[in-house]
């Protein structure tokens, strides 16, 4: 094999490595929770996209050699996190197989985030994988996570994508890349499952204390913490439902304790309204279909309760009782969050009895007429509705009486543009060929989704009626 030398800062590139995220509190957890990680340099790193606004927020500088994983300065203590998870219902041992947590950044108002590389090479938890990622899926995560943020949905963010100049082997040879992800934390339901199942005495308590310090400093008991997670998840999934987002792989290792959307693998937005919408090629049973997301979240929260159980009470029966009290509140909490989101979409700022029927009837009509989800809400007007919706319109008009600014409310809650799968694919394809024009144009529009003054042109058009069903893939 021909030895390859990798460009490092000492090669005269003049890169400063003064990182404002040298803190790494994860090191305070028992050692089983992580593995310290060396850099795996790549041959020709190139910055493909850098998120200036996000970087400014966290005081981060464009350091190619760091965000390519080519060099980890001594001031950092990068690590891969261990976790477990239920994948499509089956318990599995996992961990960061292709990610490295660089450290934590702080902003000027006391906020703190994890800075993590994704696609940065093999780790102890890689199993059979190569630890790498391909360029198009990393750009896709960048685009969709930034779109979610602009839609007002809690999410991990994307700081940059660096192409590696190396190929990754998938079904074909693809250009490789590394995404830098910013997250409130990378604690998952699966991290608690790992702690409960495999770590040593006291590890679960340590993890709980860590999570409480990080996310819920006011909590004094595990029940308060668990209740907080339930509320954040209910609110998150209600927001997904409201914009027609299908996460696609709601395994418990992809459920963040912070309540942020995490893992943009097979996700996609629904075009025509169909509650059974599934995009992921491997989700044959439709486990993670659009309409199943609230129930799957309930299931995932039950898994978290099982992991946390010993901390609820020493006596098992009592512990179960306390955990169940919290878990049983989820359906109602979700329902209320969902109704609030959906009411806002039809211009209602209050909740009244019968609103659930009003929304359900509208969705039934959209299903019946195969209406485009986003554009139907975008174009809803109390004075003119699509043909076939007239009876519903009468009910709606009655309900709108007393609303001071129904139309204004609707404009704030119904985006004019979402990441349309066919547009995203076209932008990614061009970016893969080296032309970022369409990607940047799409990103720019997706950052401004509620601006009705803007002409979004073809980017807000649904796909052609005869377009084949859209499919997404894992293992990217
Ligand atoms: P995901 O489906 O992206 O949530 O990934 C599930 C697990 O597989 C996680 O533990 C990942 O770290 C790991 N994984 C995914 N892709 C790779 C890869 N190319 N190499 C190593 N591990 C991977
Ligand atoms: Mg994942």
**Atom 23 in ligand 1: residue holding the nearest Cα:** 97
For the CA of 168, the nearest atom of ligand 1: 19
Judged against a pLDDT cut of 70, whether residue 475 lies above it is answered with no
* Confidence label for 340 from pLDDT (cuts 50, 70 and 90): very high
- Taking a C-beta distance cutoff of 8 angstroms, is the pair 257, 189 a contact? yes
121 CA from centroid of ligand 1 (Å): 11
Most confident of 16-20, 55-59, 295-299: 295-299
- Tell which wins on pLDDT, 312 or 17: 312
Amino acid 466: pLDDT: 85
Judged against a pLDDT cut of 90, whether residue 54 lies above it is answered with yes
Q: Is 161 in the pocket of ligand 1 (CB under 6 A)?
A: no
Amino acid 465: pLDDT: 84
Partner residues linked to 49 by β-bridges: 161
| H or E segment and range at residue 322 | helix 316-327
Question: Looking only at Cα atoms, what is the longest distance across the chain?
Answer: 76
Active site residues: 253
**Integer Cα distance of 298 and 303 in angstroms:** 9
Q: Is 124 in the pocket of ligand 1 (CB under 6 A)?
A: no
State the average pLDDT over residues 352-378. 98
> 148 is written with which tokens?
């979610």
Amino acid 74: pLDDT: 85
For the CA of 254, the nearest atom of ligand 1: 4
Q: Is 249 in the pocket of ligand 1 (CB under 6 A)?
A: yes
Model pLDDT for residues 393-429, shown as the tens digit of each residue = 999 999 999 899 999 999 999 999 999 999 999 999 9
Which ligand sits nearest to residue 95's alpha carbon? 1
State the average pLDDT over residues 223-240. 98
Q: Is 104 in the pocket of ligand 1 (CB under 6 A)?
A: no
With the most atoms of ligand 1 within 8 angstroms of its CB, the residue from 88, 98, 283 to mutate is: 98
Cα dihedral 306/292/96/175 (nearest 10): 170
- Tell which wins on pLDDT, 77 or 3: 77
- Tell which wins on pLDDT, 126 or 16: 126
3-state secondary structure at position 36 = strand
**pTM for this predicted structure:** 0.95
With the most atoms of ligand 1 within 8 angstroms of its CB, the residue from 37, 87, 97, 171 to mutate is: 97
3-state secondary structure at position 105 = strand
For the CA of 251, the nearest atom of ligand 1: 4
Q: In whole numbers, what is the pLDDT of the chain averaged over residues?
A: 94
Amino acid 3: pLDDT: 42
State the average pLDDT over residues 343-347. 98
State the average pLDDT over residues 242-262. 98
Amino acid 22: pLDDT: 67
Q: How many C-beta atoms lie closer than 10 Å to residue 241's C-beta?
A: 20
* Confidence label for 23 from pLDDT (cuts 50, 70 and 90): confident
Model pLDDT for residues 68-124, shown as the tens digit of each residue = 999 998 889 999 999 999 999 999 999 999 999 999 998 888 889 999 999 999 999
3-state secondary structure at position 75 = coil
For the chain, the domains span 2-185
State the average pLDDT over residues 138-151. 98
Q: Is 169 in the pocket of ligand 1 (CB under 6 A)?
A: no
254 CA from centroid of ligand 2 (Å): 5
Q: Is 282 in the pocket of ligand 1 (CB under 6 A)?
A: no
* Confidence label for 20 from pLDDT (cuts 50, 70 and 90): low
**Atom 8 in ligand 1: residue holding the nearest Cα:** 97
**Integer Cα distance of 414 and 378 in angstroms:** 5
Amino acid 358: pLDDT: 98
406 CA from centroid of ligand 2 (Å): 39
Q: Is 310 in the pocket of ligand 1 (CB under 6 A)?
A: no
Amino acid 200: pLDDT: 81
Q: How far is CA 166 from the centre of its chain?
A: 27
* Confidence label for 467 from pLDDT (cuts 50, 70 and 90): confident
Judged against a pLDDT cut of 60, whether residue 16 lies above it is answered with no
Judged against a pLDDT cut of 90, whether residue 18 lies above it is answered with no
- Tell which wins on pLDDT, 272 or 10: 272
Which ligand sits nearest to residue 92's alpha carbon? 1
Amino acid 9: pLDDT: 45
For the CA of 95, the nearest atom of ligand 1: 10
Cα dihedral 88/93/96/97 (nearest 10): -90
Amino acid 199: pLDDT: 72
Model pLDDT for residues 264-311, shown as the tens digit of each residue = 999 999 999 999 999 999 999 999 999 999 999 999 999 999 999 999
Amino acid 19: pLDDT: 58
Which ligand sits nearest to residue 249's alpha carbon? 1
3-state secondary structure at position 238 = helix
* Confidence label for 339 from pLDDT (cuts 50, 70 and 90): very high
Amino acid 473: pLDDT: 81
Model pLDDT for residues 170-181, shown as the tens digit of each residue = 999 999 999 999
For the CA of 253, the nearest atom of ligand 1: 4
* Confidence label for 17 from pLDDT (cuts 50, 70 and 90): very low
216 CA from centroid of ligand 2 (Å): 23
Amino acid 476: pLDDT: 66
């Amino acid at each position: 094999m021909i030895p390859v030398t990798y460009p490092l800062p000492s090669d005269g590139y003049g890169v400063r490595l003064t990182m404002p995220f040298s803190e790494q509190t994860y090191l305070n957890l028992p050692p089983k929770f992580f593995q310290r990680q060396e850099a795996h340099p790549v041959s020709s790193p190139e910055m493909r996209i850098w998120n200036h606004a996000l970087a400014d927020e966290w005081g981060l500088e464009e350091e190619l050699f760091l965000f390519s994983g080519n060099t980890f300065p001594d001031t950092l203590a990068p690590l891969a996190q261990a976790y477990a998870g239920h994948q499509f219902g089956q318990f599995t041992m996992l961990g960061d197989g292709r990610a490295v947590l660089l450290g934590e950044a702080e902003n000027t108002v006391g906020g703190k985030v994890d800075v993590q590389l994704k696609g940065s090479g093999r780790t102890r938890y890689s199993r059979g994988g190569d630890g790498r990622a391909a360029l198009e899926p990393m750009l896709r995560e960048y685009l969709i996570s930034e779109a979610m943020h602009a839609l007002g949905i809690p999410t991990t963010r994307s700081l940059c994508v660096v192409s590696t100049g190396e190929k990754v082997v998938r079904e074909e040879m693809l250009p490789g890349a590394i995404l830098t992800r910013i997250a409130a934390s990378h604690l998952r339901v699966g991290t608690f499952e790992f702690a409960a199942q495999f770590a040593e005495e006291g590890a679960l308590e340590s993890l709980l204390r860590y999570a409480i310090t990080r996310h819920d400093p006011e909590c004094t008991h595990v029940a308060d913490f668990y209740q907080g997670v339930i509320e954040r998840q209910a609110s998150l999934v209600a927001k997904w439902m409201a914009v027609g987002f299908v996460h696609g792989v709601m395994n418990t290792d992809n459920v963040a304790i912070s309540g942020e959307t995490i893992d943009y693998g097979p996700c996609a937005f629904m075009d025509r309204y169909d509650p059974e919408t599934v995009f992921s090629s491997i989700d044959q049973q439709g486990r993670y279909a659009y309409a199943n997301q609230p129930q799957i979240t309930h299931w995932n929260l039950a898994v978290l309760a099982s992991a946390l159980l010993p901390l609820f009470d020493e006596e098992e029966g009592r512990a179960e009782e306390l955990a169940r009290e919290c878990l049983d509140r989820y359906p109602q909490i979700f329902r209320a969050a969902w109704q609030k989101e959906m009411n806002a979409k039809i211009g209602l700022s209050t909740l009244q009895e019968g609103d659930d029927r009003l929304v359900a009837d509208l969705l039934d009509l959209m299903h019946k007429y195969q209406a485009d989800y986003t554009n139907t809400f975008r174009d809803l007007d109390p004075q003119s509705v699509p043909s076939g919706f007239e009876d519903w319109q009468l009910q709606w008009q009655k309900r709108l009486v007393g609303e001071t600014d129904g139309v204004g409310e609707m404009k704030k809650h119904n985006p004019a543009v979402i990441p349309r799968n066919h547009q995203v694919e076209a932008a990614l394809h061009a970016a893969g060929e080296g032309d970022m024009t369409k990607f940047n144009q799409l990103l720019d529009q997706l950052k401004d989704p509620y601006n009705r003054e803007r002409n979004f042109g073809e980017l807000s058009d649904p796909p052609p009626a005869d377009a084949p069903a859209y499919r997404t893939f894992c293992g990217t």
